[in-house]
Amino acid sequence: MKVLFATPEARPLIKTGGLADVSGALPAALRGIGVDCRLLLPGYHSVLSGAREQREVLRLANLPGYGEVRLLEARLTSDEDVPVYIVDYPYHYQRDGGPYQDASGRDYPDNAWRFGLLSRIAALLASPLSPLDWRPRILHCNDWQTGLAPAYLKFMGGGAASVMTIHNLAYQGVFAPDLVAPLGLPREGFRIEGFEYHGKLSFLKAGLYYADWLTAVSPTYAEEIQREPLGMGLQGLLAHRRESLTGILNGIDMAEWNPSSDLHLSCDYSARAPAGKKRCKQVLQGDLNLEVNEEAPLFGLISRFTPQKGLDWVLQVGDRLIAWGAQLILLGKGDAELEHAARLLAARHPGRAAAIIGYDEGLSHRVEAGADIFLMPSRFEPCGLNQMYSQRYGTVPIVGATGGLKDTVEDGVTGFVMSEPSAPGLWLAIERALAAYADKPAWRHMMQAGMQQDFSWERSARQYAALYEKLAAG
């Protein structure tokens, strides 16, 4: 079974969020069970400087709208054998900012062209017109950045069966309608039964409409998006397609996130030998200039700072939490207002609260290991990974009752699920967690229950493999 996995980000080469974790781990897990899964990524700086053993496999002399485009083949990392095709087009991809935004956080004005190109190459490689010898049976697309691929493929006359995975409906890739023709899309697709969305061109809707099968990254999210409000305008189409929409829960990379062998930590521990976690807490408190205090419950949060994540609720209850005697670490970046409010909270409580504004992978591991309680009060969460990392690290998560959080946290057993999506709802869950924390044997029991969960990718990989087989069989 050959699968082309088209994605705008993949760990360890390029990451803004969970999609990169998934794209970095799922193809490897699929290969582990015999699926020949290969990635397709844009040639950003970090991809070209990080991918191993690059060689040119294709040169398109004059792709309409773009000119010369090169395709490289490489390997994702040195230790894993995951082939990756890279769209080498410096004009669009080699930029100083992030993959979607410039250094000051503004979307690149030519994102439609940038991800139109990624989608177009994905479709070409999945079609009978592909100049490559390697021909996938399945084209697996991820989020709006690859949403046009199933449409291009359909209008090229078909080829591989296509799967569109929804990681987050909040990002839809909606652009001006006058881009339809320049991007090489037929006018006939610009209608409700197609890629038109309220008079504009929607990349995501294209994928949701033209892909042969849809998946969402958790069973609960697959249900939630068929209604308002989480359908985010696309609930009608998704409900209409419910017979070809399944929820497949993400896994986590159990090797990368393993407290007994985590190279980012100065101490190691496991469910059987949990003592090292105390040392991780001390070191973390020291590193972040918090009072080194074993008894104070240490709360951690690691997140993109966007309204989705409910950080505003954490900021509303933050003073009360500190007054109670707890400590709080906030790690993340995003909305300027949230960053500012997080900094202010930390400034009000020296030695008790820390705000680290930025992206820091090593620190994210140290917070997962050193904290007692992890905060993830998301308003919506398609899957969420940190609540799973937390359980694996014996850090009890407090989560919103939504999406993948609901599917991976058992209230009162492996974590605490908020009864209401609000700051008071969060506070109630925090009170329950603090009461449990005070009861040492009960707390140890919860930590253990979390650490024993199996969130490995294998189960999900098998579900994707079964789906590929079904689609390939027609």
Residues making contact with ligand ADP (CB under 6 A): 17-19, 21, 302-304, 331-333, 359-361, 364, 383-386
C-alpha 178/C-alpha 200 separation (Å) is 8
Q: What is the CA radius of gyration of the chain?
A: 23
- 83-120 burial, b for 16+ CB within 10 Å, e for fewer? bbbbbbbeebbebeebbbeeeeeeebeebbbbbbbbbb
Torsion angles phi and psi, residue 473, rounded to 5: -75, -5
| C-alpha triplet 322, 326, 327: angle, nearest 5° | 85
The answer to whether the CB of 383 falls within 8 A of the CB of 221 is: yes
By CB under 6 A, is residue 169 in contact with ligand GLC? no
Contact between 381 and ligand GLC per CB under 6 A: yes
Q: How far is the CB of 243 from ligand ADP (least distance, A)?
A: 27
Nearer to ligand ADP, 20 or 164 (CB): 20
Binding segment for ligand GLC (CB under 6 A), chosen from 18-26, 39-47, 357-365, 389-397, is 18-26
Closest CB to ligand ADP among residues 94, 456: 456
- Residue 332 touching ligand GLC (CB under 6 A): no
**Nearer to ligand ADP among residue 18 and residue 116 (C-beta):** 18
Q: Among residues 13, 19, 183, 298, which is the contact residue for ligand GLC, using CB under 6 A?
A: 19
CA–CA dist 283, 85 (Å, integer): 41
Please give the distance of CA 42 from its chain centroid, rounded to a whole number: 17
Q: Which stretch binds ligand GLC (CB under 6 A): 25-33, 78-86, 108-116, 380-388?
A: 380-388
Taking the C-alpha atoms of residue 108 and residue 405, their distance in angstroms, rounded to an integer, is 32
Q: Tokens 């249900």 identify what position? A: 223
Q: Comparing C-alpha atoms, which of 163, 160, 211, 206 is closest to residue 184?
A: 206
Instruction: Establish if 18 lies at the interface with ligand GLC (CB under 6 A).
Output: yes
Q: How many residues make contact with ligand GLC (CB under 6 A)?
A: 14
The one among 17, 83, 219, 351 contacting ligand GLC by CB under 6 A? 17
Please give the Cα distance from 430 to 375 (Å, whole number): 9
Specify the stretch interacting with ligand GLC by CB under 6 A; choose among 17-25, 43-51, 95-103, 186-194.
17-25
Q: How far is the CB of 164 from ligand ADP (least distance, A)?
A: 17
Does 450 participate in binding ligand GLC (rule CB under 6 A)? no
Question: What tokens were used for 106?
Answer: 């503004």
- CA pair distance 449, 88, nearest whole angstrom: 46
Position 384 contacts ligand GLC (CB under 6 A):
yes
Cα separation, 124 vs 139, in Å, equals 10
Closest CB 429 distance from ligand GLC, rounded Å: 19
Residue 332 partner contact from ligand GLC, ligand ADP, none using kind-dependent CB cut-offs of 5 to 8 Å: ligand ADP
Taking contact as CB under 6 A, which single stretch among the options 11-19, 103-111, 155-163, 442-450 is the one that binds ligand GLC? 11-19
Nearer to ligand GLC, 127 or 378 (CB): 378
- Which residue number, 241 or 304, has a Cβ lying nearer to ligand ADP? 304
Q: Out of ligand GLC, ligand ADP, none, which partner does residue 217 contact, by CB within 5 to 8 A per kind? A: ligand GLC
* CA–CA gap between residue 147 and residue 201 (Å, rounded): 11
Find the shortest distance in angstroms from Cβ 40 to ligand GLC: 17
Please provide the distance, in angstroms rounded to a whole number, between the alpha carbons at the two ends of the chain: 14
Which one, 296 or 341, has the nearer CB to ligand ADP?
341
Judged by CB under 6 A, does residue 369 bind ligand GLC? no
Name which of 19 and 72 has its Cβ closer to ligand ADP: 19
Name the residue number minimizing CB distance to ligand ADP.
18
Dist CA 8 CA 235 (whole Å)? 24
Q: What is the pattern of x (binds ligand GLC, CB under 6 A) and - over residues 20-39? A: --x-----------------
Is 256 one of the binding residues for ligand GLC (CB under 6 A)?
no
Label residues 418-430 b or e (16+ Cβ within 10 Å = b).
beebbbebbbebb
The DSSP-derived string for 31-82 is HHTT-EEEEEEE--HHHHHHSEEEEEEEEEEEETTTEEEEEEEEES-SSS--
Q: Round to whole Å and give the CA distance between 77 and 18.
A: 18
Q: How far is the CB of 356 from ligand ADP (least distance, A)?
A: 8
Sign, Cα dihedral of 440, 444, 445, 450: positive
CA angle 413–298–275, rounded 5-degree value: 70
What is the smallest separation between the CB atom of 309 and ligand GLC, expressed in angstroms?
9
Q: Smallest distance, Å, CB 463 to ligand GLC?
A: 14
408 binds, among ligand ADP, ligand GLC, none (CB under 5 to 8 A by kind): none
Residues that bind ligand GLC (CB under 6 A): 17-19, 22, 167-168, 217, 250, 381-385, 404
